[in-house]
């Protein structure tokens, strides 16, 4: 970390909080990280990465089109039982 850089997360730095307050911007609290809240990180994204692995793309539009096609193709596959019940469904499964 740089000597002159922030000492904590940028969104909690005093200068940022003061700026947001002067602009009357409401800051919403985020829930703590939870695998139940980010199930795509463990189920969907690895599958999409597997589909796209080893391929070369010409530009950002090519990446977007191929990723969208992979998502559409994957959306026809069944959802794992641990994701069907919503938050907490995968706990202890």
Domain assignment present for residue 29? The answer is no
Q: What pTM value is reported for the model?
A: 0.45
Number of domains into which the chain is organized: 1
Q: Write out the residue range of the structural domain in which residue 48 sits.
A: 37-77
Domain assignment present for residue 32? The answer is no
> What tens digit of pLDDT does each residue of 39-77 get?
777 778 888 899 999 999 999 999 999 999 988 887 776
Q: How many CB atoms lie within 10 A of CB 39?
A: 19
Domain assignment present for residue 18? The answer is no
Question: Which tokens belong to 68?
Answer: 């969208």
Domain assignment present for residue 72? The answer is yes
Within 13 Å and on the Cβ side, how many CA atoms surround 57?
11
Q: What gap in Å lies between CA 38 and CA 28, rounded to an integer?
A: 18
Domain assignment present for residue 59? The answer is yes
Q: What gap in Å lies between CA 39 and CA 89, rounded to an integer?
A: 11
Domain assignment present for residue 2? The answer is no
Phi, psi angles (nearest 5°) of residue 47: -65, -45
């Amino acid at each position: 970390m740089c000597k002159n850089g922030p000492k904590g997360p940028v969104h909690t730095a005093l200068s940022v909080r003061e700026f947001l307050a002067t602009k009357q911007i409401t800051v919403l609290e985020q829930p703590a990280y939870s695998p139940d809240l980010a199930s795509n990180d463990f189920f969907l994204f690895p599958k999409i990465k597997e589909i796209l692995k080893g391929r070369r793309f010409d530009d950002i539009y090519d990446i977007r089109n191929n990723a969208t096609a992979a998502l559409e193709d994957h959306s026809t596959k069944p959802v794992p039982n641990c994701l069907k019940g919503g938050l907490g469904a995968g706990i202890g499964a």
